Amino acid sequence: MWLVGFRPFFPLACLLAVVTPGVWVAMLAGVVTPPPGLMPLQWHAHEMFHGFGLAVLGGFLLTATKNWVQVRGHHGHTLQLLVTAWTFERLVVWFGGSWPAWFRWPALHVFPALLITLVLWTLVRGRKADSYRDNVLFIIALPVLLAARALLLLPEHFAAGVALTLAVFRLAFVVMLERTLTQFMKALFQVSLPRSPWLDGAVKLLALSSLVSPALPFAARATLQVSLAVLLVVRFARWSPQLAFRRLDLAVMYLGGLALAAQLVLDVLPGDWVGTLPLHVFTFGTMGLIIPAMFFRIAKGHTGRPVVFGPLEKAVLWVMLLAFVTRVVIPQLAPSLYRELLWAAAGLWMTGFALVGVRITPLLLAERVDGKEH
């Protein structure tokens, strides 16, 4: 469990993904009282991104950075400290509203500050051996999460905090998809995806620039986001989608990337959307489709097992696709059923991640099957 970052944090992310949607719909129904000091929407957004999302991103980066710079990576007591801080943060978010501000605010930032410091230390220390020179994007973007979290927890700056948080996660997914899809397509179809330095560079530069988009005038923000969306769609169109959609595990990666592009456009497109459509296109479309497939791949591949998507894994991906349609698509067509669809989508999300957790946790509690240590 303490050999490498994904082992503790992926099951914890699954646990939170199973618990919090149920709490959220119960809160909306008036059955559960919101935590003191937070609006219900603040709690929901914080736990989605800075609870669940940061557990996912933290587990991924703690694992990936050690491979990128060829070091042992953070493990043992360091991971135990991080997990303790993450768990303590969940308690602070729920019970800390009545605590003194001088204690509550630092307590809310212990986990992200530790995580970001450790990841940046790995990247900066191993810069010369880094196989990805564009990891400077993470060095720039990750500290922004601290500011984004602080803004999100302040009612008067909540919208800016969500937008800034979303921009950081968007950048992380853009970089991750660029690196992984080229590898997956090569391994599965013996296809080398066309790479264009100017296109890849423009995509990453615009994704990085979106970190300041919440502070830009609407016209400038719209131009930036639509430009990034267009470039992403152009790149996906060049990356052999006709092959990728033959396999469900690759199709959800492409669909998640296209959902990211759609969110950029919907966010600046006038419209009377039902249920904060642009935001949930990203959470259910990008995060909800890509993360389960990523968990299965990493849990199997990084424990020495063949990366094979069997019936259970495929069933999970179909459940998450159904969750996306239920939460994002159908409410636009049947707004009168929004509350019922919200409950159904929450149930599907919880079911999908419960199955993910049941599948990967035994693998992560056991040793690698190929004799390697970590």
Res. 313: pLDDT tops 90: yes
Instruction: Give 198-221 pLDDT, tens digit per residue.
Output: 999 999 999 999 999 888 999 999
Name the band, by pLDDT with cuts 50, 70 and 90, for residue 270. Answer: confident
> How many angstroms separate the CA atoms of 167 and 211, rounded?
5
Task: State the average pLDDT over residues 73-100.
Answer: 95
Instruction: Give 52-70 pLDDT, tens digit per residue.
Output: 999 999 999 999 999 999 9
Q: Which two tokens stand for residue 294?
A: 């990523």
Domains contained in the chain, CATH given: 6-365 (1.20.210.10)
User: What pLDDT, on a 0 to 100 scale, did the predictor assign at position 45?
Assistant: 97
Instruction: Give 272-311 pLDDT, tens digit per residue.
Output: 899 899 999 999 999 999 999 999 999 999 999 999 999 9
**What is the CA 206 to chain-centroid distance, rounded?**
19
**Tokens 């998809």 identify what position?**
177
User: What pLDDT, on a 0 to 100 scale, did the predictor assign at position 74?
Assistant: 95
> What average pLDDT does the structure give for the chain?
95
Res. 194: pLDDT tops 90: yes
Res. 134: pLDDT tops 90: yes
